Amino acid sequence: MSLAHDLYFSGRRILVTGAANGFGEAMAGLFYAAGAQLVLADIEEQPLAAVASRYGAAAHVFDQADPASVEDLAKAAGPVDILINNAGVLVAKPLLETSLEEVRRTVDIDFVGALRLIQLIGRGMVERRRGVILSIGSQTAFSGGENRAVYAAAKAAISQLTKSAAVEWGPYGVRVVCLAPGRSLTRMTRQTAKEGQSGDRGLARVPLGRWGTAEEIAKMAMFLVSDAASYMTGETVIADGGYVHG
Ligand SMILES: NC(=O)c1ccc[n+]([C@@H]2O[C@H](COP(=O)([O-])OP(=O)(O)OC[C@H]3O[C@@H](n4cnc5c(N)ncnc54)[C@H](O)[C@@H]3O)[C@@H](O)[C@H]2O)c1
């Protein structure tokens, strides 16, 4: 079996959340080119529709902060072979200035909503005895960071959840993994940089000397959910240009 064959997704049904922008949009393009059948979901209706029509995908508008909406998405998606739990938000603020409402919103979207999707989609995978779940965590889960306290904690929770789900579902042939990107150039980071909440100060700590791109993260995601990574589960892979070691 060749590596190229492992990276082909013909006939696989893949649900990507947060697919209207950034990493999710880049993943949609890669998986489309690799023959996947895509279900794309996001809270932003128009950009989602544009990405979905470009890649012949089904589009589903949902709000990951709303449990009923997450359930609707899981029902609408039907049986999926691969879930990519990518939707997320970053409230970039000093801990002392972060309101309880902002804490709750971050945790509701970045942890609780993601966890709920893992449960709802994972159940069918366990029953069918196959499937892969990838969550997009963050390198900040390991390093922490200025203006990242709540976000980093929510992402750390996803990495921990990944381990336990992998242990429980491994015997059913379901892999659960997590990808922890370092700062990459998407709308999320451009916005916080513009608002002066995170400039290029951290770049000196990146051994590769640059921020990542959405395409680089999408390729890592593709590898992790592919059969090329079939003996990996429970793991969080960091892709951050070496930041955590810098
Ligand atoms: N860009 C980075 O440097 C970086 C680094 C580490 C981790 N991440 C994580 O990667 C993932 C993708 O981020 P990105 O950089 O592509 O950002 P992005 O803002 O470009 O994309 C995030 C997507 O999630 C969607 N979304 C936000 N809230 C939602 C909600 N309540 N319900 C449904 N969809 C919602 C947005 O509409 C958007 O399309 C996020 O989980 C983010 O935390 C990003």
Whole-prediction pTM: 0.97
Burial-class residue 37 by CB neighbours within 10 Å (0-12, 13-18, 19+).
middle
Q: Which atom of ligand 1 is nearest to the CA of 65?
A: 31
User: Distance (Å, rounded) from C-alpha 178 to C-alpha 195?
Assistant: 29
What is the mean predicted confidence (pLDDT) over 196-221? 86
Q: Nearest Cα to 133, choosing from 1, 234, 32, 5? A: 234
pLDDT in tens, 97-127: 999 999 999 999 999 999 999 999 999 999 9
Atom of ligand 1 nearest to the CA of 44: 37
Q: Is the pLDDT of residue 202 over 80?
A: no
Structure tokens at 111: 């942890």
CA gap 156, 186 in Å, rounded:
21
Q: Is the pLDDT of residue 201 over 80?
A: no
- What type of residue sits at position 188? M
Residue nearest to atom 17 of ligand 1 (CA): 188
Domain count, the chain: 1
Residue 194: per-residue pLDDT:
66
- Which of 48-57, 87-96, 163-172, 188-197 is predicted with the least confidence, judged by mean pLDDT? 188-197
Domain that holds residue 240: 3-245
Torsion of CA 86, 87, 91, 92, to 10 degrees: 40
So what's the pLDDT on residue 4?
86
**For residue 200, pLDDT beyond 80:** no
Residue 208 has pLDDT above 90, yes or no: yes
Alpha helices in 57-139 (DSSP H): 67-77, 100-107, 114-128
Query: How confident is the model at residue 195, as a pLDDT?
Result: 65
Instruction: Classify residue 47 by burial, with Cβ atoms within 10 Å: 0-12, 13-18, 19+.
Output: middle
Q: Whose CA is nearest to atom 16 of ligand 1?
A: 22
Ligand 1 atom at minimal distance to the Cα of residue 17: 34
Residue 191 has pLDDT above 80, yes or no: no
8 is catalytic: no
- 190: pLDDT confidence band, cut at 50, 70 and 90? confident
Is the pLDDT at 196 greater than 80, yes or no? no
The CA-based diameter of the chain, rounded to the nearest angstrom, is: 54
Q: What is the pLDDT of residues 8-31, one digit of tens each?
A: 999 999 999 999 999 999 999 999
Name every protein residue with a CB atom under 6 angstroms from any ligand 1 atom. Answer: 18, 20-24, 42-44, 62-65, 86-90, 109, 136, 138, 181, 183-184, 186-189
Mean pLDDT of 165-183: 98
- Could you tell me the distance, in angstroms and rounded to a whole number, from the CA of residue 173 to the centre of ligand 1? 28
Q: Where are the alpha helices (DSSP H) in the chain?
A: 3-6, 22-33, 45-54, 67-77, 100-107, 114-128, 140-143, 149-169, 187-194, 214-225
Pick from 82, 126, 128, 119: nearest CA to 227? 82
- The CATH number assigned to the domain holding 233 equals 3.40.50.720
CA–CA distance, 89 with 160 (Å, rounded to integer): 19
In DSSP terms, which residues pair with 213 in a beta bridge? 185
Give the model confidence (pLDDT) of 57-87 as tens digits: 999 999 999 999 999 999 999 999 999 999 9
